[in-house]
Structure 1
Amino acid sequence: MLSPSLKEQIKCRWREFRREPSAFFWVMFMPILWMVALGFAFSEPKPEVYGVGWSTNSQSESGEEYRQAIADHPQVRLKMFDEATLMTLIKRGDVSLIAKWDGQQVVYQFDPRNPEAQRARDFVNNIVQQKAGRTDPLPAANEEIIAKGSRYVDFLIPGLLGLSIMTSSLFGVGMTIVSNRKENLLKRYIATPMRPWEYVVSHIFGRYMVLAFEFSAVMICGFLLFDFKVFGNLGSYLFVAILGAGAFTAISLTCAARTKSIPTIGGVVNLITLPMMMLSGVFFSKNNFPESFQTIIDFLPLTALNDALRKIALEGQGLAQVGFELGVLAVYLVVGTVVSNRLFKWY
């Protein structure tokens, strides 16, 4: 049974959320805006278009046929300028490759450390070689695979749900506690029979109420706009989201346990959230990072949350198959709750 003090504090958490319009906007509409913008931008596969510069410093009729072949290809956006101007365009990102005719061959200038430039070089060189008469000795064919669960938007939606849970939990709880402490509201609680752990736990329950709106908004919009489907058990999917919300709330409680100023808690929360937004696979796979670095990334709470959500939604796995991710989130939840209760100060 919940104590009367804890019940009243849970009611307070709901009233705080309901009376703050901006909080409702960030929880309900921000993940939807991300989903709509990125989902529609990448929902239809489009061939990559390469920005290529052709140097006019060494124009000759013998190289004109190759320049024309490059210019006529629909996946090439050719710009003709002198080399100095083309170098400026490379710095601006308008072109990634410079091609020129030296009288006998096509010479390519590009940064080999730039993956797009390397792809552009190979693509343009293939056009040039075909124009010169090269034929492929073995024919090849392409077969498109368009299946639910393999689209970018299917990868994106669980990541956005995880991102929304992280940001709303860290900013919502931390800012509220520090604001109450600054306004001396927490000091008044000393005169009540409420114990610190009840105040701490009330914020975890409060985030679960907010999660109901977050989860519903993301899932409903994902289904209606992009036909998103959870191939695994929906109850398991919800359980992971609940555990993730608890873990991030516990982290936020620890950060705000003794913090006294809004700028300080804002800086601490940003220090936590920004690296995880980049590293934890919200918008792109964490496998893009070096393998040795991925071991550290796997222990970040947002990584564990996103990986578990995707394994259940896209691969149809159960809770037993995401045991590592659940363990990581559980550690953050338990340790964060215990530490925040020990460190918590009313004033």
Structure 2
Amino acid sequence: MKPFWALSRAILRGFVRDRTSVFFAVVFPLMFLVLFGGLFSDQSVGKVDMIVVGDASLVDDLPADARDDFDDTFHVVRSDDLDDALDQVRKGDADVAVEQQGDTLVAHYSQTDPAKAGIVAGTLRALVDGTNIALTGQQPTYDLRVESVEDDSLSTIQYYTPGLLGWAVAMSAAFGAAATLQGWRQSKLLRRLQLAPVSTRSVVGARVSVTVSIALVQMAIFIGVGGIFFGLTLTGAWWMAIPLLVVGTLCFMAIGLLAGAITKTQEGAVNAANFLVLPMAFLSGSFFALDDAPQWLQTFSELLPLKHLNDGMLDVMVRGEPWTAALVPMAILAAFALVVTLVAARLFRWDTA
């Protein structure tokens, strides 16, 4: 065990002393967490800006309970100039302009914001239907109740933390493995280790243990910062994120080894790892959800290991899923790691020549 611990200490000291490695492994991803946390931790939906043109008795004569809901949804200003109101909606200064023509409430809205337009149309339709029911005196047969599928503690930052953590671990593991392999190869340290009385298991074990330890430290920092500053709340079997993160680290170490095996310089290895990991982060939901992406892109993302790491951690950390939700992502990541490691071993060379 002495060679293992000696190599582990040497690798860890090299990582800590390399400020660039520490920055890109811990500080750089954490900057994104702080940025997204600051932007979205207190995200709320604002009122719809409505311009009421002329007399609109349907809006003015609402019952008390309907008036409260209406005031919670719309911010109303009055105008007698329809053309000016339409111009404000067209420019985005207002969301909707309404006028009453006889028994018809006419709403003019812009299609530049489909989400806001849907809110406007749905709310006004409910308003008109409710008024019709009130005037006829007939009670509706059916009722609607809406409930969130998540608990009340869920906030936007909880969706970003697992994805950003997955990207941080993937980047650190891949870059570390690629740079270490090429750095040792260029400095002839690989040849010295081959001739030294140190087993291959000790060398590999030391590198893996240090990388996994760094990943666990990253996880602790992300959860700590998210919980203390942005209200991150862990739910379900969140502890299953730990073994999932370990398997994910091994998977991206394998990608780093592949990058180091197919390149001839340390800079080339790091660039190759970056070429593999950075696009994967965008296509795996680390920075934004892929729900609105084309179907072919969503299908392609299922082939990427980071997608399964992100989804698995999202399930067990914030979605309240049971511990079994992490098993399938772990199996996929382990299989990916095995295949890529075998390919990297096939392409591995002791010297740069």
Normalised TM-score (structure 2): 0.71
- 2:84 is aligned to 67
CA distance 1:126–1:315, change in 2 (3 Å):
closer
- 2:318 is aligned to 314
- 2:300 is aligned to 296
Q: Of 10, 18, 25, which aligns to 2:8?
A: 10
Partner Cα distance (1:205, 1:118) in 2: 50
Contact residue 171 and residue 274 of structure 2 kept, 8 A: no
Where structure 2 has 5 or more consecutive residues not aligned to the other structure, the ranges are: 49-79, 98-105, 132-142
Superposed CA RMSD in Å reads 3.8
For 1:285, what is the secondary structure of its paired residue? coil
CA distance 1:271–1:309, change in 2 (3 Å):
same
For 1:287, what is the secondary structure of its paired residue? coil
Partner Cα distance (2:231, 2:115) in 1: 33
For 1:346, what is the secondary structure of its paired residue? coil
Q: Of 95, 106, 128, which aligns to 1:136?
A: 128
For 2:257, what is the secondary structure of its paired residue? helix
Q: Deviations over 1:210-269 (max 9, x none)?
A: 123201110111110122122123431211111111111122112213522134223321
Contact residue 259 and residue 270 of structure 2 kept, 8 A: no
How many angstroms does 1:30 deviate by? 2.3
Q: Which amino acid aligns with 1:309?
A: M
How many angstroms does 1:300 deviate by? 1.2
Contact residue 181 and residue 260 of structure 2 kept, 8 A: yes
How many angstroms does 1:173 deviate by? 1.9
CA distance 1:124–1:318, change in 2 (3 Å):
closer
Q: Which amino acid aligns with 2:316?
A: I
Contact residue 196 and residue 341 of structure 1 kept, 8 A: no
Partner Cα distance (2:284, 2:47) in 1: 29
Q: Which amino acid aligns with 1:137?
A: D
For 2:318, what is the secondary structure of its paired residue? helix
Where structure 1 has 5 or more consecutive residues not aligned to the other structure, the ranges are: 51-62, 80-96, 100-104, 111-115
- 1:151 is aligned to 155
Q: Deviations over 1:97-149 (max 9, x none)?
A: 9x9xxxxx999997xxxxx554577789999x99xxxx723369998969446
Q: Deviations over 1:138-184 (max 9, x none)?
A: 36999896944642211001111101101111112212221232233
Query: Is residue 163 of structure 2 the alignment partner of residue 165 of structure 1?
Result: no
Q: How many residues align?
A: 301
CA distance 1:284–1:309, change in 2 (3 Å):
same
Larger gyration radius, structure 1 or structure 2: 2
Q: What percent identity do the matched residue pairs reach?
A: 22
- 1:336 is aligned to 340
Partner Cα distance (1:166, 1:39) in 2: 21
Q: Which amino acid aligns with 2:23?
A: F
How many angstroms does 1:69 deviate by? 6.1
Q: Deviations over 1:9-67 (max 9, x none)?
A: 222221211211232233332232211211121122344799xxxxxxxxxxxx94242
Contact residue 200 and residue 341 of structure 1 kept, 8 A: no
Normalised TM-score (structure 1): 0.72
